[in-house]
């Protein structure tokens, strides 16, 4: 009898320990978000979004150049990365047994784990070194390379959830294969594909490492993809590691904006498919 009680106590104790782990795991999130709001919110005003940076040591100024830069770099990355990723995903789902699908799937998983800094070095050797100057476009290519495998995998997973009967019904009605794929299967999965794409955008929007020696960063407002360009994550890095107190203040505010963008994208991504599909971690 005593042994049974001891075993029960041990069980309760271990479960309690794991509950404690949950608290410890959620704590950093709350701490980080809390500090960001506490230190960054006070600097968020209209000037922050509409003004350019001022010389070091002066107060005031904004990060409009970086907001524009991030939009342009990430937008271009989407133009390159999303079609490739979604197409690859559809291929893997439509021809699941083919050798190419197996290879693409495995290579995507491997590329997904590739450090983003390595992709940055690749974009540098490929584009910056051959053109002999830093450019926002090289940064976009690096981000696109990070997006493709992510989007490929989520698209495939989402399409695989479409019931076979739907596909069979369309085929039985005399639809050709491509038409079935595009107007029935892909259309049904569209919210899922949007989710996957948004998550990929959210992830690359916060990437700093691949932009360090491609887009490089800049103090000026620029719309030229062939030139160096500022981006929000680069601004956070430069200002956080710089020596001035005003810079640190701006780093907190910029980080708050960056994280709001990323969190809104991630939450929107999950809401797009809420209750429709199983989430793909």
Partner 1 sequence: MSPSATGSDATLGGARFGDRLFKAALTLTALAVPVLLGFLVFELWAGSREAIGEFGLGFLTSSEWDPVEGRFGALPLIFGTVVSSALALLIAVPLSLGVAIFLTEFAPMRIRGPVSFLIELLAAIPSVVYGLWGIFVMIPFLRATVFPFLKDTLGFLPFFQGPIYGPGMLSAAIILAIMVMPYIMSVSREVLLAVPNTQREAALALGATRWEALTGAVLPYARSGIIGAVILGLGRALGETMAVTMVIGNRHEIAASLFAPGYTMAAAIANEFAEAVENIHLSALSYVALTLFVVTVLINAAARLLIWRVAQGGGGKSA
Segment contacting partner 1 (CB under 8 A): 41-49, 58-66, 68-76, 91-99? 91-99
Give DSSP secondary structure letters for 102-118: HHHHHHHHHHHTS-HHH
- The residue within the footprint of partner 1, chosen from 1, 2, 3, 28 (CB under 8 A), is 28
Alpha-carbon distance of 190 to 131, in angstroms, equals 38
- Selected from 112, 131, 244, 276, the binder of partner 1 by CB under 8 A is 112
Instruction: Name which of residues 198 to 237 contact partner 1 (CB under 8 A).
Output: 202-203, 205-209, 212-213, 216, 233, 236-237
Q: Least Å distance between CB 19 and partner 1?
A: 6
Q: How far is the CB of 21 from partner 1 (least distance, A)?
A: 3
- Among 45, 50, 114, 183, indicate the residue that binds partner 1 (CB under 8 A): 114
255 binds partner 1 (CB under 8 A): yes
> Two tokens at 185?
């299967």
Q: Minimum distance between the CB of residue 83 and partner 1, rounded to whole angstroms?
A: 7
Q: Does 242 bind partner 1 (CB under 8 A)?
A: no
Is 251 near partner 1 (CB under 8 A)?
yes
Which residue from 79, 166, 169, 263 is in contact with partner 1, where contact means CB under 8 A?
263
Tell me, by CB under 8 A, how many residues bind partner 1.
Answer: 99
Q: How far apart are CA 32 and CA 101, in angstroms?
A: 40
Q: Cβ 208 to partner 1, closest distance in Å?
A: 4
Quick one: CA torsion of 117, 118, 122, 123, rounded to 10 degrees? Answer: -20
Would you give the distance in Å from CA 49 to the centre of its chain? 22
41: contact with partner 1 by CB under 8 A: no
The H or E element spanning position 273 is none
Q: For the CA atoms of 108, 110, 112, 115, what is the dihedral angle to 10 degrees?
A: -140
- Contact flag: residue 187 with partner 1 (CB under 8 A): no
C-alpha 85/C-alpha 91 separation (Å) is: 10
**Residues from 57 through 76 that contact partner 1 (CB under 8 A):** none
Footprint (CB under 8 A) of partner 1, residues 121-180: 121-122, 124-126, 129, 145, 148-149, 152, 171, 174-180
If the CB atoms of residues 68 and 117 are measured against partner 1, the closer one turns out to be 117
Tokens of 24: 């410890």
Contact between residue 150 and residue 89 where contact means Cβ atoms under 8 Å apart: no
Q: Which of 43, 70, 76, 108 binds partner 1 (CB under 8 A)?
A: 108
Full DSSP string of 139-173: HHHHHHHHHHHHHHHHHHHHHHTS-HHHHHHHHHT
Report the alpha-carbon distance of residue 140 to residue 231 in Å, rounded. Answer: 11
């Amino acid at each position: 009898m005593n042994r049974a009680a001891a075993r029960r106590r041990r069980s309760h104790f271990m479960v309690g320990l794991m509950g404690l782990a949950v608290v410890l795991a959620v704590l950093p999130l709350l701490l980080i978000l809390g500090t960001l709001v506490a230190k960054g919110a006070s600097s968020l005003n209209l000037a922050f979004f509409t003004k350019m940076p001022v010389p070091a040591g002066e107060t005031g100024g904004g990060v409009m150049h970086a907001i524009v830069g991030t939009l342009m770099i990430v937008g271009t990355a989407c133009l390159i990365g999303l079609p490739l990723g979604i197409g690859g995903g559809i291929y893997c789902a439509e021809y699941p047994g083919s050798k190419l699908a197996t290879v693409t799937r495995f290579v995507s998983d491997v590329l997904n784990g590739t450090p983003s800094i390595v992709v940055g070095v690749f974009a540098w050797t490929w584009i910056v070194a051959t053109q002999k100057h830093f450019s926002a476009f090289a940064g976009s290519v690096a981000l696109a390379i990070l997006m493709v495998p992510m989007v490929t995998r989520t698209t495939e997973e989402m399409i695989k959830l479409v019931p076979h009967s739907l596909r069979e019904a369309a085929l039985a009605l005399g639809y050709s294969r491509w038409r079935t794929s595009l107007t029935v299967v892909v259309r049904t999965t569209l919210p899922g594909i949007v989710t996957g794409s948004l998550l990929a955008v959210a992830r690359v929007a916060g990437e700093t490492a691949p932009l360090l020696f491609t887009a490089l960063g800049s103090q000026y407002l620029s719309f030229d993809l062939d030139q160096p360009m500022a981006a929000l994550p680069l601004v956070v890095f430069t200002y956080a590691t710089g020596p001035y107190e005003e810079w640190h203040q701006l780093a907190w505010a910029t980080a708050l904006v960056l994280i709001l963008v990323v969190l809104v994208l991630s939450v929107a991504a999950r809401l797009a498919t809420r209750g429709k599909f199983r989430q793909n971690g």
